[in-house]
Structure 1
Amino acid sequence: MRLIKARVTNFKSVLDSGWFTVGDLTCLVGKNESGKTAVLEALEKLDSVVKERSSFRDTEYPRMNWSEYEESDKVDIGLSTEWKLDQEELKYLQELCGGEGVFTSDVITVVKNYDNELVWTLPLNVQEAVRLAVVNSGLEKTEKAELQGITTTKLLFRKLEAMDERTPRQEAFLSELKEKWSGSLRGKVVGYLRQRVPQFVYYSQYDRLPGKVSLNQLVQMQQANQLDQLQGSRVFLALLSMVNTTPVAISQISTSEQLISKLEAVETRLSKKIFKYWSQNRHLKVRFRFDEASPGDPAPFNTGKVFQTRIENMRHEATIRLDERSTGFIWFFSFLVWFSEVQRLHGENLVVLLDEPGLTLHARAQADLLRYMKTELVPNYQVLYTTHSPFMIDPADLLSCRTVEDATGEDDEVLGTKVGDRALSADGDTLFPLQAALGYELTQTLFIGKDCLLVEGPSDLLYLQWASEQLRAQGRTALDKRWTVTPCGGITKVPSFMALFGGNRLHVAVLTDHGQGDKRKVRELRESELLQDGHVFTADMYCDGAAEADVEDMLGRGFYTELVKATYGLTAKQAMPKTKPGDAPERVTSEVEDYFRTLPARVPEYDHFAPSRYLLEQASKLTLPGQDEALNRFEKLFEDLNGLL
C-alpha cells in the first residue's frame, strides 16, 4: 500500500490543510511557524512506531475552537488518508471477496478521529460478494433459493446458523464461509488491510547521539521510566542495539574483549555508511570507547562506566568526542544510527517523516543528505520531509514539493495551516526556497553549458520553455537545445554575471524586458564590450513595434490576461476587461499589477512567476486566445537566437 493523499484537520495550527497528494519523496516547504511540523505529527498519529505518539489528544485540538468543540457531542476527525493498493493486495482481496466485481477499486480511505478510532471507506460491494458466494456455493437450486435476497454477510451467517437442520452441503458452505470470512467479510478485509498499512516513523532535529553517556545514569533513568528526560537516549539505545546489547548488560560487563570486537565491527559499518555520503571530510573514522569513570570528572561521569563516541581525524591523528564535532555531522551520524534500529525493529513497511532534516548542515552537506534520502530511503520507503532550505529541494523535481502556509482570509480571518498541492501556489516568502533552488541549479549549469541565454527571471525561462515545447511539437523552429537559459535577475546583473563567469569562455546572449527605465541600460549594454554585437535582444523587438514590452507581452494581452484569470481562479466578475482601457500601462504586467490592487483582499497577491508555472503545468489543458500569434513571435525570436550558434 502506498499513501497517495492526505488531509489534516483540527490539529494544532491546522484547521483544515486541504487534500494534498503524496509521492515517493514529498517535500513540505514553508516559512518558520507555518505549520509544517504539525502536518508531519498528524500523519504520524495514524500509526506511529512509538505507540505513545499514535493518539490524538484533546490538548492538541486547535485552542481557538476548543470551547465550542468541548461542549458539542461530535467527534472530530484529525487525519484523513487515501491509499493505493498494489497488484498483490488487490488480487488477494478480489479472491477473498469472490470476484473482480466485488472489490471495485484499488484506492481506499482511512480516517482517524479524536476518539482514536480508524474509519475505513472501502470499495466493497458486499451484496455482490454474498450473491457470488451463494452462486458458487455448490448448493442445490432449492437450497440456494432459501438464501435469495440476502444482502449482507451478517444476514447470510445468521440465516445459515438459524436453520434447524442443515444439509451436508449447507453445513459445508457455512464452514467454508467461517473459515474464509470469519463471520464478517468487511471485518476480514479491514483486518488484512490493517496489517498492510505502513507504520510511520518521525525524526526531528533534536534527536542527537550524545558524545558521552554515563551508564549508571542511563540505567537509573530507564528503570524509573524517565528516559525521555535524557536527551539523545533513544539514539544511544539504538547504537547499543547495533551490537546486540543493553545499558544494563553493558554496565555489568566484566570482560571487554567481546564488546570491543563488536564495537569495532559497528565502527567500520557506520564509517562506511556515513562517509559514502558525507563529502565534507572523508578523513574521519568512528571510534567507540568504554571506560571506568574518572573521579575527577563532573557528575554523572565520575562514577561507574562511561561510553564515548569519538571521531578520529586520520589526517591529524587525533580524536574528539562526537558532541564536539559540527552539529550537522552529529545530526547525520545520529540519524543513520537511529534509522538502522528502526529498520531492525519495524521492518520495511514504513513511511518516514523527517522534520527539518539537516537544518544545521552546510549547503553541500544538505545536498549529500538529499542524495542519501533518494539513494537509500526512497527505493524502500515513502519519505515526507519539511524544509525551508533551497539546498534540500531538488530543482529537477519541483512538483514533488508542497507549499505550507499559515493562511488568512477576508478581514484577517484565521484559516490555519494550508498545504498547497501545486508546488507554486503560495506567497513570496514561502516560494523563495523553490525559486532559490531553481536559480542555484541553473547557475551551476553554466559551468557545463557553453552557450548561455540570460533572461531576467524564472518566469521568462518558463515562458521560453513552454513556447519551445509547443513549437517543437508542431515541427516548427524551437529554441536550440544547446542554449542554457539562465535567469540573472535583470539587465543590471549582466555585468556581474560576466565578471563571475566570463572566464569560462561562455557564448552569452541576453533577452531582456524593455521599459522606460531600461532603454539607457540596454543601450549601454549593447555599446559595451561584454557581449558580441547582435547578442542583446529585447522583448519589444517581437511585439509589433511596441515602445515598451516584457516577455509576457510576447504572449499577447488576451492570452496573458486569460492565463492570469485561470491561474488565480478569478470569477467572470473579477476578470480583467477584454478591451484594454485607454489609461492602462503599455506593458501587460503593469496593467495586471494595477488591476489586482482593485480586487478584494481574498484574491491572492499577483506575482509574475505564478502564471508562468501554471502555463507550464497545465499546457495540455489550456486553450488561450491568440496562442498562434504568440508562438509566431517566439518562433521569430528562436530563429534569431539559433542563428548565433
Structure 2
Amino acid sequence: MPEIQDFVIRNFKGIKNVKIDLRGRSTSPVITLIGLNESGKTTILEAISHFVTGNRAVSSLFDGPYSKASGISLIPIQHKAAFSGAVAVRATIKLTEGDIDHLVKAAKKHGMKLDPEPLKNPVYAEKRFTFKDSVLTETMNYWTLNLFIKRGKATKFTAYQKPTKPTAFDLWTYVVRHIQQNLEQVSYFPTFLVEMPPRIYLEEHADETAINRHYRFALQDILTSINPELSTEQHIVQRIKEFKESQDSSSWLSRLLSSPRKTPIDSVFQNVSSAITKEVLGSWHRIFQKSIAIKSISVGWGVDEERDDMPYATFHVTDGESNYAINERSLGFRWFFSFLLFTGFNREKEKKTVFVFDEPAANLHAKAQAELLTSFARIASNGNFVIYSTHSHHMINPKWLGSSYIVENAALDYDGENAFGLDTKPTEVTATTYRNFVAKYPSRSSYFQPIIEKLEYVTPDLIGAGPYLIVEGITDFYALTIANSSNKKNRRLHLVPGSGSGSSGPLISQLLGQATDFSILLDDDKEGKKAAIKYREEWYLRESQIITLGEINSDFSGMAIEKLLGQDTIELIQANISSGKTPTKKQIGWHLAEACANNKPALEIMSQSALERLSEVLDFFDKRFNTAK
C-alpha cells in the first residue's frame, strides 16, 4: 500500500512552511507536537486534517469543501485584507513494490509497458486552496508523478500522454485512483467534539452548528458500516416526512408513534445501537484492557415540533438499571466515548489511518491521561500512525521523543519580558524536531518544559526495606542507573535522586522515620564537602552514611559525578544530540534520562571507561550495605 512519508504545510493561517515527518526521522508511529498555549499546535493539526484523504466529517468543522464557510480563516493572518496566492497541504508518498507491480500489470492489460523505475521516486499529493484578493476561487487536489511507457515494438520509454477520447483507458487517472484509494486516510479528532449535543438533528439546516454536522456525518458513517445501502436521509428522514404528508393532520406524530410505519425506523436505530455498543465497549476492553460498568449504548429518535418537525437522534448509556444521556455524563466519560466512537467508525476498516488528536484528554486527571497515552501505542500499530499535540508532561512518552516536535509562535516570546503576546510581531508557527531544538536552543527550556518534567520525574521508591543510595541530582541518578543496568550484578541498593547537594533533608527525615538503611553520595567539590558536614551535624548521621567521591577513590578527589563520564562519553552525547558545541550539564541530564527511558544499551550511551568508574562507585556502596546487614 502507498505510504505517506511527510506533510508539508504552506501559508495556512500562521504557518509559512512547516514539515512534519512520519517515516523519515524515526521508526516511531507516534508523533508528538509539544508547545505552550497559542504556540500553533492546533493550526498544524487543522492543516493536516485538510489533506486529500482527510475525513469529511471532521473537514466539515472547518473551512473547506464540506463546510459552508468562505475559506477566509485559512488565509495567513497578517494577509487577510488582500491575499492572492495558495494555501496548500502536501504529502510525500512512497509506492511499495506491491503497488508498482500492480500498476505495471494494469498497464500491460491495456497494451502498455510501464517503466517501474520512475515510480520508485516520491509521488506528491497536494490539497490546494487558491485565493484572489482574499476570496476563495478554487479548491483542487494536485498529483505529481511521472509515468513513462512503451507501446508495441517501441524500444524507448516515453512520457505518458493522456488519451484524447473520454472513453479510453487513462493510465494516469488509474494510478492516481489506486494511490488515493489505498493511501492512509487522515482522521482528526478536535477536543471540542466531546461536547456532544443532547440532540443530533438529522437534516442539514440554516443554523446548523459544525458539531451537529460532524455527528450527523458520523451517524451516516455508522449506517454505512452496517449496510452501504442505508442512509439517514432515505431510511429515517424521508420515512418520517412521507408519513407526515400522508396524514395531513396536526396529530400526525402521535399516529406515527403508534403506527406499524414506526417499526422500520426503530429497526434502523436498533442496528445503530448494536453497532455502537459492540464497537465502543469492545474497543474499551481492547484498548484499556479493563471492564466498564456500562452494559449497552442506545440511540433513540424523536421529532422537534418547534423546529419544523425536524428529526433528531439521542445517545444514552445504561448500566443495566438506569439510562443516562451521554451529554450528562462526566467530562472523562464523554471524552473517551467520543474518542472510541471516532476511532471505531471514522475510518474505512481496510485502510491504514493517521489519527490526529488535538490536546487529547487535556482537562482530565493524570491517570486518565496516562491510560490514553498507553492506548496510543496500541492504536498506532499495524501501519496506523498517531499525531497528537500536548503541553502536559503526563502525555509525554520518552520513547517517542525521537519523533517529537517543539512548536513555537514567533509572535510570542515566553522567555522574554513580553510573555503575554502584547507586541506586534507577525504570527509565524514553526515546528522543530525535539533533538534539533534542544541542540540549538538549550537555554529556551520553557518551550519543552513538559519533556523536562517528564524526564526529571522519578517515581518515589521509598516504601520497603531499602537500602537506599541518595544522590545529589537527576543527572547523577540516571548515570548510575545506566551503569547499574550495564552488568548482571545484583546490587543490594535502590537509587534515589535528591534535589541538590544540601537539599536532601526531607528524604533523610523520611528514611530515618522508616528506620531504613541508607547512604548519601555527594560530589567531592566544595559544596559537596560542605553538605557532608551539614548532614552529619544536623541529622547526627554516621561517617559511613555520608560519602563524597574522593572517599571512594582518591583519583576522584575534587570531582563531581558528571566528571566520571569522561570526554569520550561527552563526545558521544554531543554526536547524539547533533550539537556542534560541548553539551551543557542540562543537556547531558536530558540525554541520559531519555536513553534510560528507552532502555538503550549502556555502551550506546557512555564509554566503557565511564561505566567502569560508575560501577566502582556502585560496588563501594553495595559492599557497605552488605557489610551492614
Question: If the length of structure 1 is used for normalisation, what is the TM-score?
Answer: 0.67
Of all paired residues, the percent bearing the same amino acid is 19
Residue 432 of structure 2 is aligned to residue 425 of structure 1: no
Match of 2:366 in 1: 363
Q: Which amino acid aligns with 2:193?
A: D
Maintained 8 Å contact 2:51/2:89: yes
Deviation, structure 1 residue 333: 1.0
Maintained 8 Å contact 1:479/1:638: no
477-486 or 267-276, which deviates more = 477-486
Match of 2:133 in 1: none
Match of 2:208 in 1: 226
Match of 1:12 in 2: 13
CA distance in 2, matches of 1:607, 1:41: 33
* Structure 2 residue ranges without an equivalent (≥5): 131-138, 241-255, 417-422, 439-443
Match of 1:521 in 2: 531
2:339 to 320, 332, 335: 335
Maintained 8 Å contact 1:495/1:530: no
Deviation, structure 1 residue 324: 2.6
CA distance in 2, matches of 1:448, 1:108: 59
CA distance in 1, matches of 2:273, 2:569: 67
CA distance in 1, matches of 2:527, 2:535: 14
Match of 1:168 in 2: none
2:330 to 326, 329, 337: 326
Match of 1:265 in 2: 274
Residue 93 of structure 2 is aligned to residue 83 of structure 1: yes
Structure 1 segment 49-198 matched on structure 2, within 5 A = 49-50=55-56, 57=71, 59-64=73-78, 70=84, 75=85, 78-93=88-103, 102-103=117-118, 105=120, 107-115=122-130, 116-118=139-141, 120=143, 122=145, 130=149, 133=150, 137=152, 139=153, 147=154, 151-154=158-161, 182=169, 188-198=174-184
**Residue aligned with 1:212, SS:** coil
Match of 2:616 in 1: 636
Deviation, structure 1 residue 364: 1.4
Structure 1 segment 39-58 matched on structure 2, within 5 A = 39-47=44-52, 48-50=54-56, 57=71
CA distance in 1, matches of 2:399, 2:155: 59
User: What do the CA deviations read for 1:245-285 (whole angstroms, capped 9, x no partner)?
Assistant: 73626866644674785476357534454466569994344
Structure 1 segment 336-485 matched on structure 2, within 5 A = 336-343=340-347, 348-376=351-379, 378-379=381-382, 381-407=384-410, 416-422=428-434, 425-426=437-438, 427-440=444-457, 442-443=458-459, 454-464=470-480
**Residue aligned with 1:343, SS:** coil
User: What do the CA deviations read for 1:503-554 (whole angstroms, capped 9, x no partner)?
Assistant: 9998755544455444443344467879997465545668966775443333
Deviation, structure 1 residue 491: 4.7
CA distance in 1, matches of 2:286, 2:569: 50
CA distance in 1, matches of 2:572, 2:374: 40
Maintained 8 Å contact 2:411/2:426: yes
CA distance in 2, matches of 1:10, 1:87: 34
Deviation, structure 1 residue 206: 0.9
CA distance in 2, matches of 1:232, 1:153: 41
The RMSD of aligned alpha carbons is: 5.3
Maintained 8 Å contact 1:94/1:103: no
Q: Which amino acid aligns with 1:31?
A: L
Go from structure 1 to structure 2 and tell me whether the alpha carbon gap of 1:224 and 1:64 turns closer, same or farther (over 3 Å shift): closer
CA distance in 1, matches of 2:385, 2:17: 23
Aligned length: 552
Deviation, structure 1 residue 404: 1.9
Go from structure 1 to structure 2 and tell me whether the alpha carbon gap of 1:534 and 1:9 turns closer, same or farther (over 3 Å shift): farther
Structure 1 segment 481-560 matched on structure 2, within 5 A = 487-491=497-501, 494-497=504-507, 510-513=520-523, 516-525=526-535, 534=544, 536=546, 538=548, 549-556=559-566, 560=570
556-565 or 419-428, which deviates more = 556-565
* Structure 1 residue ranges without an equivalent (≥5): 140-146, 162-177, 577-588, 594-605
Deviation, structure 1 residue 36: 0.9
1:248 to 237, 246, 249: 237
Residue 36 of structure 2 is aligned to residue 26 of structure 1: no
Question: If the length of structure 2 is used for normalisation, what is the TM-score?
Answer: 0.68
CA distance in 2, matches of 1:198, 1:240: 20
Maintained 8 Å contact 1:9/1:79: yes
Maintained 8 Å contact 2:9/2:17: yes
